[in-house]
Amino acid sequence: MINSFAITATRSMKSYASQAADQLSKFTSFSTPEDPINCVNSLEAERFADGEMEVAIKHSLRGRDIFLFTSCARNEANVTVEEAKIELYNTIDALKRSQAHSITVFEPYVSCSRSDRTVRRSSVGLWVHLKTMVSLGASHILTYQLHSDKSKSMLDPTLCLLDDLPALTLLKKRICDVYIKDVQTLKNHVRSNWVFCSVDAGGEKLGRRFANAFGTPLVVAHKQRDYSKANSIESVNILSAEPITGKVVWIVDDMIDTAGSVVSLINALASHHPAEINLAAVHAVFSNPAAEHLTELSQKGLLNHILVTDTVLSPHCGSQSIPNLEVVPSVELSSKIIATIIENRPMGKILEDFNAETYLKSRGLFG
């Protein structure tokens, strides 16, 4: 029997949550006694005169499985990182006190995911964030493309489950749909003329997933960082088993922040004279001066296509300020994931490795 559920959101993701609730009917075969869209606006963040916050629940959510959408990155309500986190923590507490049956936090992009190293005398922001949510009552955390695999081991699964979902599949499908289109092109052109490139040695595993999915060679960029400064690169070495001259290069990464690494890498790749260079990344963080960097690379003819998802709200994604920028929606996948959980169906189909040839063949049959 399916338990009563509700989809709701902090101020940072109300529009996204409404869209996800609206698309549930595509993936479920049941009707709910109350439209989950009506619960998206059931939370209200109130501020006291001294700046303190309190979150109130306007409708009863007792006994329901709650899916809470939230973002602590750039968001539609222009809530700062710090305020968004405090609102999130207060919301989980309020939901727990309202006797929700379970609380699943759906945070498409975890903004503190890069603060995951324990080797320095500094706080580990991701651990603090996850630990706080769990201690307040979160029972399940969903996100897209954490910065590192080791982050998944930060939580005790007997207390809270953490699912790091493969938003990379969204990018791979879009590459198939727009840039390849059929199996013949994949076999006769892509596999002999394309390469996928990781942004650094740490991203080799991610880059290999793309290379394996499309059956192409892998190029690894080895970065020398200046760890005394954030977001700084000293040099980039290109490691490839075969020449990339005349090849179509796709740089792949989990996020684009300031795009400083991208500039260094593309300049290094350009010296090898590829046919074109493209960029695909899940999270469009786009901190300054990312837009300036990407625009300059495009105007110089060094960067052809940029693919990102909408897990982070960016003003550049809704305008033409960055040339050749394409935003791949993630809302439908988020809705599908919620429907899968609600109906207690296996998640394996969503989590399985993407294969371009299999996808193109199935699309040819049913598309």
Whether 78 maps to a domain, the answer reads yes
**Per-residue model confidence (pLDDT) at position 143:** 97
pLDDT in tens, 118-149: 876 789 999 999 999 999 999 999 999 998 88
Average pLDDT, the chain: 90
Residue 135 phi, psi dihedral angles, 5° rounding: -65, -25
Do residues 154 and 183 both lie within one domain?
no
pTM for this prediction: 0.91
Say if residue 139 is in the same domain as residue 179. no
pLDDT in tens, 211-260: 999 999 999 987 665 545 555 555 667 877 788 999 999 999 999 999 99
pLDDT-wise least confident of 223-227, 279-283, 336-340 = 223-227
Cα–Cα distance, 168 to 85 (Å, whole number) = 26
Q: With a cut of 80, say whether residue 40 has pLDDT above it.
A: yes
pLDDT in tens, 172-222: 999 999 999 999 999 999 999 999 999 887 789 999 999 999 999 999 987
Q: What is the pLDDT of residues 339-366, one digit of tens each?
A: 999 999 998 889 899 999 999 999 754 4
Residue 352 falls inside a structural domain: no
In a domain, 147, yes or no: yes
Task: Output the six-digit token pair for 27.
Answer: 């993936």
Which domain does 76 fall in, by range? 5-166+332-345
- CATH number for 73: 3.40.50.2020
Does a structural domain hold residue 26? yes
Of 89-98, 238-247, 317-326, the least confident: 317-326
